[in-house]
Amino acid sequence: MAIDRPDPDLDRELSDLPPELRWREWMRRIEAVLFASASPVSREDLARVLGQGASVDLLIKDLAADLEDRAFEIAQVAGGWMFRTRVAYAPAIRAAADVGNQLLNLSEFDVAVLAAIAYHQPITRDGLKDIFGKEISRDLIGRLHARGLIGTGPRSPRRGAPYTYVTTDQFLVAFDLESLQDLPDREQLEDAGVLSETGT
């Protein structure tokens, strides 16, 4: 979403407004930017519409409080913020809207492969084969790639330089993670039986 050139018509400082109205206007600007964006918006991008004395974090906090009784909320994911419908309204949306192409519809095995990529990235198909004890189909990799959940990482330094796979910002958004550090602890997953001690 970043645009390198500032808009000369945008008054960032709003010095003609009293402080409480200035703050309110900055909140509305953040709201407008988040509303218009289909992907998370970074702190740096939001700061481009604010004056010098503005705190993006405090403005986001105040805006989130403003939205407390609304059907949507601000979520911090993938290194930025975006609007999301509150989970409580998911059944209503499914009943009234055609969201079929937005649903992930991942099988348990698909999620296991995604988890293996997330925890072991960058990883090759051979690396995934070592974890699962069987070949991972190109079709499965292609489906995960087409949904934007994984991308191509650096080429492996092995003979033939095979492709590696990594998760994407869309993976973070889909699983409501701010960063990969928010992945569940591997030991907890092993204790719960979700991951084996040798792999996934």
Domain annotation for the chain: domains and CATH numbers? 19-91 (1.10.10.10), 104-191 (1.10.10.10)
Q: Give pLDDT, residue 198.
A: 44
Q: Give pLDDT, residue 3.
A: 53
Max Cα–Cα distance, the chain, nearest Å: 67
Nearest Cα neighbor of 132 from 158, 113, 151 is 113
Q: How many CB atoms lie within 10 A of CB 114?
A: 22
Lookup: tokens for 45: 């991008």
Phi-psi region of 148 (alpha: psi -120 to 50; beta: other; left: phi over 0): left
Per-residue pLDDT, averaged over 179-183, amounts to: 84
Q: Give pLDDT, residue 165.
A: 92
Per-residue pLDDT, averaged over 101-124, amounts to: 82
Helix or strand (DSSP H, E) at 75: strand 72-77
Q: Give pLDDT, residue 200.
A: 44
- Lookup result for tokens 């109205």: 21
Is pLDDT of 197 > 70? no
- Please give the single-letter amino acid code of residue 164: T
Q: Give pLDDT, residue 192.
A: 60
pLDDT in tens, 29-75: 999 999 888 888 999 999 888 988 789 999 999 999 998 988 888 88
Nearest Cα neighbor of 33 from 49, 17, 22 is 49
Question: Exposure string (b/e) for 70-87, b if CB count within 10 Å is 16 or more?
Answer: eeeebbbbbebbbbeeee
pTM: 0.56
